[in-house]
Structure 1
Amino acid sequence: MKEKRIFAVIGLGKFGFHVAKTLAERGMEVIAIDKDEDRVKEVSEFVTQTYILDATDEKALRESGIKAVDVAVVSVGENLEANLMIVMLLNELGIKEIVAKAINPLHGKMLEKLNVSRVIYPEMETAIRVANSLIAKEIIEEIYLTENYSIFEIKVPQFMVGKTLAELDLRKKYDINVLGVKRENSVIINPAGEFMLQDGDILIVLGNINNVMDLL
């Protein structure tokens, strides 16, 4: 059974709203925080608890009970000063895992110096996924992990049909790791080397986008 963790989402713009809603829909406890009453009201039907407060106010943030959360997501990206102040306050409150939205690489570097667990660039990551899918229509989905690595779902190219994973040896030839294969309504996780690919299969792989493009 998946461990039920408690999340706080601070800042309920488009990004924060969808993070909070998705976490809640997947069974997580979510505390949603924003100083805008309308934004809080919009997400209140999905999440566990809501607070209308300015998260740069240490007293208000502390009184919200945020110290009990496992992960805090700071999605106040547009206001640089507020974003950094909130992260500093969360560190002082002892939040072990902090995920923060950045508006540009310089902002991201500042967040990294504050020891956030993960820096997210929503606009950049979305742009990269769209551009990659336009270049290679075989790419169905891309989950951005780092600047160099993503998880991809790709339609099996014709040259792979009828061949086993051992024959293709994607790790050696392309530095791509096969995590699974989608076939009709099932998913085969970590398929063996003798697994033979069929037309219509979807590969789930971990790799660098340049290597994936070489494969396609």
Structure 2
Amino acid sequence: MKKEFAVIGLGRFGGSICRALSEEGMEVMAMDMDEDKVNGYSTIASHAVVGDSTDESVLKSLGIRNFDHVIVAIGDNIQASILTTLILKELGVKHITVKAQNDYHEKVLSKIGADQIVHPERDMGKRIAHNIISNNVLDYLELSDEHSIVELVASRRMDGNTLIDMDIRAKYGINIVAIKRGKNIIVSPQATELIHQGDILIVIGADTDINRFEKNLVDE
């Protein structure tokens, strides 16, 4: 069965999620107080509704508790975001993801029970910063405050060495969970796997260990 999603707030972030979910064939209800924004998604989402998400009766009338996942993507109105999340929790929504504006907003959302809290601008800023700082970093995904998954390009220094030759796990405390080589992906590579210059290494570990690995083995 298809999962049913509701996206509340159709700014850039909410609109992007709505469009992406719809393109994946999901059932999506798009909701916003701005009629023009709602009209813009009437042909994209399964349902597009003009409504105030801080009004419990409105959410009840839409059967919001029956949705598998509700994304609260309200823009600058932190009060509306918090109140909407609180009502959704009280109505028993299964899973709630909320866009946070700042750390204070995140703390409040966490206390009232948001299942997942995202900082799209901050997270994208970090990804772009990592790409700018190093020519070897292709992508970056923060797992926690101290751990990440990073895509690194293998340098000439690594060419022709195996994972065991470089003793990466013991020396750096990180794991190479996959290697992309052209169109092929090697998942959970063996210790005897030869690394070639230009391979894309998908690395998981603590940020400090990944940085150490990058400086010692990847940077030219």
Considering the TM-score relative to the shorter chain, is it more than 0.5? yes
Give aligned-pair identity as a percent: 36
Shift in CA distance, 27/180, structure 1 to aligned 2, threshold 3 Å: farther
CA shift digits 1:12-59 (9 cap, x unpaired):
111111111122222322221111122122233332222111111111
Structure 1 unaligned spans of 5+: none
2:204 corresponding residue in structure 1: 206
Q: Which has the larger radius of gyration?
A: 2
Shift in CA distance, 156/33, structure 1 to aligned 2, threshold 3 Å: same
How far apart are 1:163 and its partner, in Å? 1.7
Partners of 1:32 and 1:144 in 2: CA distance: 28
How far apart are 1:133 and its partner, in Å? 1.2
CA shift digits 1:43-89 (9 cap, x unpaired):
33332222111111111111112212111111114111100100011
Moved over 6 A (4+): none
Shift in CA distance, 48/193, structure 1 to aligned 2, threshold 3 Å: farther
Q: Aligned letter for 2:135?
A: K
Structure 2 unaligned spans of 5+: 215-220
Shift in CA distance, 179/45, structure 1 to aligned 2, threshold 3 Å: farther
Partners of 2:208 and 2:2 in 1: CA distance: 36
8 Å CA contact 1:136–1:213 kept in 2: the answer is: no
Q: Aligned letter for 2:53?
A: A
Describe the SS at the equivalent of 1:100. Answer: strand
Shift in CA distance, 45/207, structure 1 to aligned 2, threshold 3 Å: farther
> TM-score, normalised on structure 1?
0.91
1:84 corresponding residue in structure 2: 82
2:163 corresponding residue in structure 1: 165
Describe the SS at the equivalent of 1:196. Answer: coil
1:6 corresponding residue in structure 2: 4
8 Å CA contact 1:177–1:205 kept in 2: the answer is: yes
- Alpha-carbon RMSD across the aligned residues, in angstroms, is 1.7
> TM-score, normalised on structure 2?
0.89
